[in-house]
Amino acid sequence: MVSKKIAVLPGDGIGPEVCRQAVKVLEAVAERFDHHFALSSHLMGACAIEATGTPLPNETLAACRAADAVLLGAIGDPKYDHDPSAKVRPEQGLLRLRKELGLFANIRPVVAYDVLLAHSPLKKERIQGTDMVIFRELTGGIYFGEKGRTPDGEGAYDHCVYNRAEIRRIAHLAFQAAAGRRRHLTLVDKANVLETSRLWREEVREMAAQYPEVTVDYLFVDNAAMQIILNPTQFDVILTENMFGDIISDEASVIAGSMGLLPSASIGERVALFEPIHGSYPQAAGKGIANPIATILSVAMLLEHLDLIEEAALVREAVDEALHNGILTSELSPVAAYSTEEVGNYIAFWI
Amino acid sequence: MVSKKIAVLPGDGIGPEVCRQAVKVLEAVAERFDHHFALSSHLMGACAIEATGTPLPNETLAACRAADAVLLGAIGDPKYDHDPSAKVRPEQGLLRLRKELGLFANIRPVVAYDVLLAHSPLKKERIQGTDMVIFRELTGGIYFGEKGRTPDGEGAYDHCVYNRAEIRRIAHLAFQAAAGRRRHLTLVDKANVLETSRLWREEVREMAAQYPEVTVDYLFVDNAAMQIILNPTQFDVILTENMFGDIISDEASVIAGSMGLLPSASIGERVALFEPIHGSYPQAAGKGIANPIATILSVAMLLEHLDLIEEAALVREAVDEALHNGILTSELSPVAAYSTEEVGNYIAFWI
Ligand SMILES: CC(C)[C@H](C(=O)O)[C@@H](O)C(=O)O
Ligand SMILES: CC(C)[C@H](C(=O)O)[C@@H](O)C(=O)O
């Protein structure tokens, strides 16, 4: 029996509904294995702005710091996107949380599930067998460099900055992951143009000597954006900086046939955070059509992170069971759709 | 009868072979319409480094400035990519040429040819009817901002900078193109994170009032990277900054089924440049397997730019004829492949 504190940040849009199902699964695991998960819910994102004026209230940050792991639904509201001059934005909460918790590595597995191949926009023969993990640097680069307007108001700038230590700490994680998988690491960069990319390439090339069993490839990001679609099975572990990782990990998600299936882990200095890769999808909020599986698989990653390996395996089995038996939300099964709650109940019941 | 000066930069890898076929097509057009095209060939890229020590010799730049249009094959050699500390790189030649000629707008049409739908990695029903044009800003952003290493050697930086005038001049071209097409413009940015993106959004929003007939959408680049694969027919004109344009235009090229089909135009202050979107592909050089169609369609764009509309239409017809009759290089027709030269001859003969 273990006892763990888990901070839940349901967030905006469909975030709360998918979190509800994921919490149900966590509770089923606790009951089955006689664990104690102390779950507490906190505000972040647009909901936090509305309630408190700030996207990441101190109370939420403190709760995350005190937790063993954080589970996040999704954040964001289009009303802020359409106002470029908005001073307060939901995304600032997430970016600050990543920085404050030192979550420097975002890990996104992309798997093509055999039973769902027909749902992919890509031809089956191209994607069958796809099994890659993207390691995206999450607390550096152009996201966190200096940004602003020029004094005359005519210009704007964003500075992309990296140092060797930032590159090394995530590269070690990626090399280790590759060593435990198919021993192939691909660095995605733009070293023919960017100085930061040349620093990445230098460091990774140097570190490669410490991992002789891992084959290392280097791919320019424009080429990578093609290769991910043309031949996704060539990839095992992809390592890349923050902005490129944002783009190619979302791009790669199309392989699976639905964003609603893909989990992610953000790990770093201490506490780790787990979230589906999809956004808050406000158009779907409250309709019971959101797919809870990405969040439930994020729970599986969370359990693995807490060393609850058997528990995580059971959650994955339950998800496979749902997929195999067609217990699918509408984006995957338009004619015989199950609701968010029905999918959650099925998976929790199976545990 | 018109008389035009065209500077040809064959470049590296497969560049010279595809240019040879494109030149043949230009000559066929000249003969058929009794025009005079004064063609001269110049060094740029790795070949120029080898011959002169610099990727863009002064002679080449002067010839481009003096020309009515520039036709480029492809540049680049992996031996420079694998040496992050190389001081001289082929790409510097292309970047400097873009800057010197003021080529601020890179225009890339992406069309799904019906006869080639089977070659796309995407399912036919997703891509049929795709007809978009990507307007990529080409002389600003992180490509041309300050870049370097920190004094202690531990860090590197690349500055992304834009001003309103740079945004406006390309946005006007994109709005005008949209007005003459399906009247839909999509701005791709990352306005939820980047200050430069917020400047793009501000300017485009303001300019939209001048083009009331054009519907404007705003898409974050991560979402755009998905939408281009999930539902490419939703796009008409895409407008975006330099780095995002590099990534999503290469990504979008997979729709057509082969990079070997896609041309591009880079236009700006004076002389314009035309080139296939594919790279120098050194592994294929000299084998006679490179597809010359992307370069030949670049010639069609060049002719249109010189107001030789009927001539351009004939080149496009000739290409369609080749596609319809299966006169295809090996990436599109592995069992009954035609060589680079055979495809070029067929198209030139048809003119
Ligand atoms: C919401 C946004 C700031 C965020 C990012 O760009 O990192 C999101 O797209 C993601 O990938 O988690
Ligand atoms: C060769 C390279 C510098 C170039 C770019 O990134 O602009 C190429 O990828 C392109 O898209 O024309």
Tell me what percent of the residues of chain B surpass a pLDDT of 70: 99
DSSP state of A338: P
- Give the active site residue among B77, B80, B143, B338: B143
pLDDT of residue A187: 98
Residues B48 and B81 in one domain: yes
User: What is the token pair recorded at B220?
Assistant: 């974050």
Report CA torsion sign: B93, B97, B99, B104: negative
pLDDT of residue A39: 98
> Ligand 1, atom 1: nearest CA belongs to which residue?
A91
Residue B291 within a domain: yes
Residue A138 within a domain: yes
pLDDT of A62 higher than 90:
yes
Residues belonging to chain A = 351
A85 pLDDT band, cuts 50/70/90, is: low
CA distance B64 to B186: 32
> For A289-308, what is the mean pLDDT?
98
Tens digit of pLDDT for each residue in B273-304?
999 999 999 999 999 999 999 999 999 999 99
Residues A15 and A116 in one domain: no
pLDDT of residue B81: 75
Residue A324 within a domain: yes
Give the residue from B199, B225, B253 where a domain finishes: B253
**Beta strands in chain A, from DSSP E residues, in sequence order:** 3-11, 36-41, 69-74, 105-111, 131-137, 147-149, 155-163, 184-189, 215-220, 237-240, 263-267, 272-276
Cα–Cα distance list, B173 to B107, B167, B267 (Å): 10, 10, 10
pLDDT of B74 higher than 90:
yes
Residue B243 within a domain: yes
Residues A205 and A289 in one domain: no
pLDDT of B79 higher than 90:
no
> For A164-182, what is the mean pLDDT?
98
Residue A265 within a domain: no
Give the residue from A225, A258, A291 where a domain finishes: A258
In chain A, residues with a C-beta closer than 8 Å to the C-beta of B77 are none
CA distance A27 to A48: 25
B85 pLDDT band, cuts 50/70/90, is: low
pLDDT of B27 higher than 70:
yes
Cα–Cα distance list, A186 to A129, A277, B222, B279, B280 (Å): 18, 21, 20, 20, 21
| A290 φ, ψ (degrees, to nearest 5) | -70, 140
Residue A172 within a domain: yes
> For A262-290, what is the mean pLDDT?
95
pLDDT of residue A80: 85
> For A87-92, what is the mean pLDDT?
90
pLDDT of residue A258: 87
- Best-predicted range by mean pLDDT (A86-90, A119-123, A215-219, A332-336): A215-219
pLDDT of B82 higher than 80:
no
Q: What is the CB < 6 Å shell around ligand 2? A: A 192-193, 222; B 76, 91, 94-95, 246
Task: Name which of A136, A137, A83, A132 is nearest A109 in CA terms.
Answer: A132
Q: Do A154 and B161 touch (CB under 8 A)?
A: no
pLDDT of A81 higher than 80:
no
- What is the crossing angle of helices A293-305 and A15-33, to 10°? 50
Tens digit of pLDDT for each residue in B89-147?
999 999 999 999 999 999 999 999 988 898 899 999 999 999 999 999 999 999 999 99
> For B4-12, what is the mean pLDDT?
98
pLDDT of B159 higher than 90:
yes
pLDDT of residue B258: 87
Tens digit of pLDDT for each residue in B126-138?
999 999 999 999 9
Tens digit of pLDDT for each residue in A42-51?
999 999 999 9
Identify the three-state secondary structure at position A291.
coil
Residue range of the domain that includes B344: 1-101+270-351
CA distance A51 to A90: 12
pLDDT of residue B86: 75
Residues A137 and A165 in one domain: yes
Residues A91 and A139 in one domain: no
In chain A, residues with a C-beta closer than 8 Å to the C-beta of B248 are 225
Q: Within chain A, what is the greatest distance between any pair of CA atoms?
A: 63
Amino acid in position A198: R
B84 pLDDT band, cuts 50/70/90, is: low
Active site includes B143? Answer: yes
Task: Name which of A219, A169, A226 is nearest A191 in CA terms.
Answer: A219
Tens digit of pLDDT for each residue in A117-145?
988 999 999 999 999 999 999 999 999 99
Residues A145 and A251 in one domain: yes
Token look-up 């090996």 returns B330
pLDDT of A84 higher than 80:
no
CATH code, domain with B94: 3.40.718.10
Q: Do B123 and A126 touch (CB under 8 A)?
A: no
- What is the crossing angle of helices B340-350 and B15-33, to 10°? 10
Where is average pLDDT lowest: B73-87, B182-196, B197-211?
B73-87
CB atoms within 10 A of CB A325: 11
Cα–Cα distance list, B276 to A9, B108, B258, B332 (Å): 48, 9, 12, 17
Report how many domains make up chain B. Answer: 2
In chain A, residues with a C-beta closer than 8 Å to the C-beta of B218 are 81-82
> Ligand 1, atom 10: nearest CA belongs to which residue?
A246
- Shortest CB distance from B247 goes to which of A161, A191, A247? A247
Give the residue from A206, A237, A258 where a domain finishes: A258
Residue A350 within a domain: yes
Residues B116 and B243 in one domain: yes
pLDDT of A225 higher than 90:
yes
- SS3 letters across chain B: CCEEEEEEEEECCCHHHHHHHHHHHHHHHHHHHCCEEEEEECCCCHHHHHHHCCCCCHHHHHHHHHCCEEEEEECCCHHHHCCCCCCCCHHHHHHHHHHHCCCCEEEEEEECCHHHHHHCCECHHHHCCCEEEEEEECCCHHHCCCEEECCCCCEEEEEEEEEHHHHHHHHHHHHHHHHCCCCEEEEEECCCCCHHHHHHHHHHHHHHCCCCCCEEEEEEHHHHHHHHHHCHHHCCEEEECHHHHHHHHHHHHHHHCCHHHCEEEEECCCCEEEEECCCCCHHHCCCCCCCCHHHHHHHHHHHHHCCCHHHHHHHHHHHHHHHHCCCCCCCCCCCCCCCHHHHHHHHHHHC
> For A101-130, what is the mean pLDDT?
94
Residues A186 and A244 in one domain: yes
> For B38-47, what is the mean pLDDT?
98
pLDDT of B24 higher than 70:
yes
pLDDT of residue B115: 86
Residue B259 within a domain: no
Residues B146 and B31 in one domain: no
Paired with B158 in beta bridges are A160, B147
pLDDT of residue A269: 85
Residues B18 and B92 in one domain: yes
Residues B34 and B150 in one domain: no
Residues B170 and B119 in one domain: yes
For residue B89, say whether it is annotated as part of any ligand binding site: no
pLDDT of B257 higher than 80:
yes
User: What is the token pair recorded at B300?
Assistant: 């069609």
- What is the crossing angle of helices A309-324 and A15-33, to 10°? 120
pLDDT of B87 higher than 90:
no
Tell me what percent of the residues of chain B surpass a pLDDT of 90: 91
pLDDT averaged over every residue in chain B: 96
